[in-house]
Every structure is written in C-alpha cells, then in structure tokens.
C-alpha cells in the first residue's frame, strides 16, 4: 500500500514538472502543440528564438513568438496544490525529526516532556488506524496500511496557548500570531501536561509564585489562601532565581557558576602541575636509563656493578614517586568530574525558559549542585623529586676512583644530579 502511494506520488510529480527548468510548474502556459511550460521558461525560449519563431522542446514544432499563449489554469491550480502539500509534509517530517533528535539528547525525565504533541485542531486518524470495524477485526495487512496512513497524516503542534489550553500546528497557529484578539494569549512550547499546571482547587492555570510558601499559585489562590504573602509572576520568579540576590537562598546561580569556574581552574592548575611532574619523572627515568646503558657499553665488566646500582637507585626513586603522582591525578580528576556535573546542572537551569519546569528542576538540581559545591577540594600530596640514595652513589664513586675510573664515574654522577636540579629549578620558576 505504501509503495503504491509512493509510486503514484512520484508519477504525479513527474507529470507536474516543467521539461525546461525541471521544477514544478509555476504559472504554466499552453503551446498550440499541446505542451505546457512555465511562463518564465517560455519567455526564455522566446528570447532565444530564431527569426521570430520558437521550437517546442518536446515535439520540436515551430510557433510564432508573437502568439499570445494561453495560461493553463487547471494545471496551475494542481501544481500549486501539490507544491503546498509537499511543503506541509516536509515541514511536519522535519519538525518530527528535530523533536526526536532533541528527545534523544535529553535525560529521561526531561525527554518525556519533549515528545511530539499532536495538534488539537487537525483531524485525528488514530481511531481509524485501530484496525476494528462493525464486522469485527480487520485483516492485519489492512490494519497495517491504516496505521501507516495515520502516521503519514499526523501533524504535530509547534506551540501551545496557555489561555485557550490548546496545542496548534504551524497552520492553525497563524490566527494567534496575526489577529489582535489573540495578542494577549501566552504561547509556550508544545505540552500535554496541563493538569500539572492547573490549580486543583480552582481549575486555573498557575500564573504566580508565592515567595512565602514556595509554591505555584493561580489567580484565585492569591486572594483566598495567600492573601498578604509576597506574590510574583512565574517569569519574574525565574529571573530572580537566575540572576537576583535572594534572601531565601543567599546563593544565586550566577555566583555558583563563578564559584564552579574558580574551583575548576584550581583543579586544572593542580592537574597541570602533577602532569608536569609525571612528565619530568618519566623523562628522568628514560634519559637516565639511556645514559646508563651507554655507560655500561663503555665500561663493560669493570663498571657493571656500579651501573646496576645506579639503575636500582633511579628506578626505586621513580617507582616510589609514581603511585603518589597517579593517586594525586586520580583524585584531582574526580574533583573535575564532580565540578563538571555541577556546571552541566547549573547551565541546564540557566537555559530553561519555561518557568514551571525551571522551578521544579531548581528544587532538585539546584539543591544537588549546592551540596556538591560544599565538598572540599583535594590537595595533592607533596612529591619529592630528590633521590634519597645520593650517599650510596657517592660511595660507589669512591670505590671506583681507586680503580682509576674516576673520570667516567664523575661524568655519570654529574649527569644524573644536574638533570634533577634542572627539573627542580624549572619547577621553582613556575
């Protein structure tokens, strides 16, 4: 069924396509030979005509350029209607695709509120797609075809009017955007959770927020149950919670974001320092290993014992510092992850434009963010880049001096010690 409809639509589009511009007819005119062309395409053919006569691109018949070609009104109406239908279908598909992609990128609780909302004015075909009739259940193939047709005919809302309590597609939204009578009607993103936004006692939409009781109220509630309380509109409440300094909380989202930024910068600086120490430690190990290997090749058997001892000292030093550095990096990364989560939560609150959703999310997400911000930052353990085996290496040097190897041994010791001093000097300069 769907393939047959697709073939029929393709055939209709082919019949409504101008053979010159290969687009749908726009103001088509009929030649005496019976072929149709767009008005602009026909003028182009007249301009390219030779000796005052143009040739039909379809049948190559010759016609006088001075002839008044008649407009094909029926073909023009069919082409315009098909063009409008194709635009509406494409717009609906695009809206559905963008809504699905937005839903997949949001958390589960937020994604539930972003599902496509059907237009309240468009005809519903869900009942027809249920697959039942007066004679009983229909054939499964027929039911599947009806469901496919229902899915193809669905039009989703782009806005919801809080005063009319209806959701509208792009076409039915035009009166609210153009007519002065609807100018005061508040429009918001499509929603189907009116029951959450209405007062159960007065059956009115929540429009205000009681600062004393910390709850959303309707117009009647401000007179009956909350008389004398500090009342603000939902939009002003959202602005206050985002930007202004409130006595209720003493912490605004802006200040919390600044605090997160400062702490995150501190964590980055600590991580950079530890990364540099890790790099220096690894470079020291690699360079000393390479130098000592070359020294071992030169000295052969005479200095083998000395080389092994130095290798043991350097490896012990690196192996001692390595776990401590990794531990510092791991704890700092944990602080970064925690601060990143707080940043994402606060940014999602700042980007929320719906007052009701913002207030509901602020009660949970804002509390969690403040709890995370109160946690102390981890301060790395001190890493000593000096070796504790200098005396042992000096003893080895004195032993080998008696064997007339002082020059080579002194060169090896100077290399290792000066290498470490360069690291320490660069760290102190930073």
Beta bridge partners of 37: 29
| Closest C-alpha among 351, 420, 369, 364 to residue 390 | 420
Alpha-helix residue ranges (DSSP H) falling in 300-354: 304-351
Beta bridge partners of 166: 161
The alpha carbon dihedral of 315, 317, 318, 321 has a sign of positive
DSSP 27: S
DSSP 233: E
How much of the chain is helix, strand and coil, in % rounded to 5? 60, 10, 30
Half-sphere exposure of 201 (CA within 13 A, CB side): 11
| CA separation, residue 263 to residues 309, 372, 377 (Å) | 44, 12, 8
- From first to last of its 430 residues, the chain has per-residue pLDDT tens of 556 666 777 778 888 888 888 888 888 988 888 889 898 888 888 887 777 788 888 888 888 887 788 888 888 888 888 888 777 777 666 666 655 655 554 444 444 444 578 888 886 544 333 344 334 444 344 444 444 444 434 478 888 887 787 888 888 888 888 888 888 888 888 877 767 788 888 878 888 899 888 899 988 888 887 888 888 888 888 877 776 544 444 456 677 788 888 899 999 999 999 999 898 888 888 888 888 888 778 777 676 777 777 778 778 777 777 888 888 889 899 989 989 998 998 888 888 888 888 888 888 888 888 888 888 888 887 776 665 556 666 666 676 666 656 677 777 788 777 765 555 555 555 4
Beta strands in 196-279 (DSSP E): 208-210, 215-217, 231-233
Beta strands in 211-252 (DSSP E): 215-217, 231-233
CA angle 421, 299, 289 (to 5 degrees): 40
pTM metric for this prediction: 0.30
Dihedral angle over CA of 244, 245, 251, 257, nearest 10: 40
């Amino acid at each position: 069924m769907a393939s047959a409809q697709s073939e029929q639509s393709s055939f209709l589009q082919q019949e409504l396509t101008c053979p010159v511009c290969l687009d749908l007819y726009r103001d088509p005119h009929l030649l005496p030979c019976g072929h149709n062309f767009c008005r602009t395409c026909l003028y182009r053919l007249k301009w390219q005509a030779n000796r005052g006569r143009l040739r039909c691109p379809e049948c190559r018949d010759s016609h006088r350029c001075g002839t008044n070609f008649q407009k094909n009104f029926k073909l023009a109406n069919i082409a315009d209607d098909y063009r409008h239908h194709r635009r509406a279908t494409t717009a609906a598909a695009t809206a559905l695709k963008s809504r699905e992609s937005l839903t997949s990128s949001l958390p589960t609780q937020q994604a539930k509120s972003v599902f496509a909302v059907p237009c309240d004015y468009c005809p519903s075909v869900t009942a027809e797609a249920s697959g039942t009739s007066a004679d009983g259940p229909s054939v499964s193939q027929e039911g599947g075809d009806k469901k496919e047709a229902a899915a193809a005919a669905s039009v989703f809302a782009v806005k919801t009017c809080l005063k009319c309590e209806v959701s509208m597609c792009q076409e039915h939204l035009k009166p609210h955007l153009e007519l002065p009578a609807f100018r005061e009607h508040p429009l918001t993103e499509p929603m189907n959770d009116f029951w959450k936004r209405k007062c159960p006692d007065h059956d009115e939409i929540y429009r205000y927020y009681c600062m004393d009781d910390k709850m959303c109220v309707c117009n009647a509630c401000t007179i009956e149950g909350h008389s004398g309380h500090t009342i603000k509109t939902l939009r002003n409440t959202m602005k206050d919670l985002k930007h202004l300094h409130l006595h209720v909380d003493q912490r605004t989202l802006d200040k919390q974001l600044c605090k997160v930024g400062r702490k995150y910068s501190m964590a980055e600086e600590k991580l950079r320092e530890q990364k540099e120490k890790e790099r220096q430690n690894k470079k020291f190990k690699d360079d000393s290993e390479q130098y000592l290997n070359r020294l071992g090749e030169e000295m052969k058997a005479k200095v083998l014992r000395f080389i092994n001892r130095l290798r043991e000292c350097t490896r012990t030093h690196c192996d001692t510092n390595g776990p401590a550095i990794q531990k510092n990096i791991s704890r700092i990364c944990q602080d970064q992850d925690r601060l990143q989560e707080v940043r994402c939560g606060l940014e999602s609150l700042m980007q929320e434009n719906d007052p009701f959703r913002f207030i509901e999310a602020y009660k949970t997400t804002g509390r969690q963010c403040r709890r995370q911000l109160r946690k102390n930052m981890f301060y790395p353990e001190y890493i000593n880049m000096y070796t504790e085996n200098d005396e042992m290496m000096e003893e080895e040097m004195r032993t080998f001096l008696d064997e007339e190897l002082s020059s080579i041994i002194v060169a090896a010791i100077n290399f290792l010690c000066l290498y470490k001093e360069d690291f320490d000097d660069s760290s102190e300069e930073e």
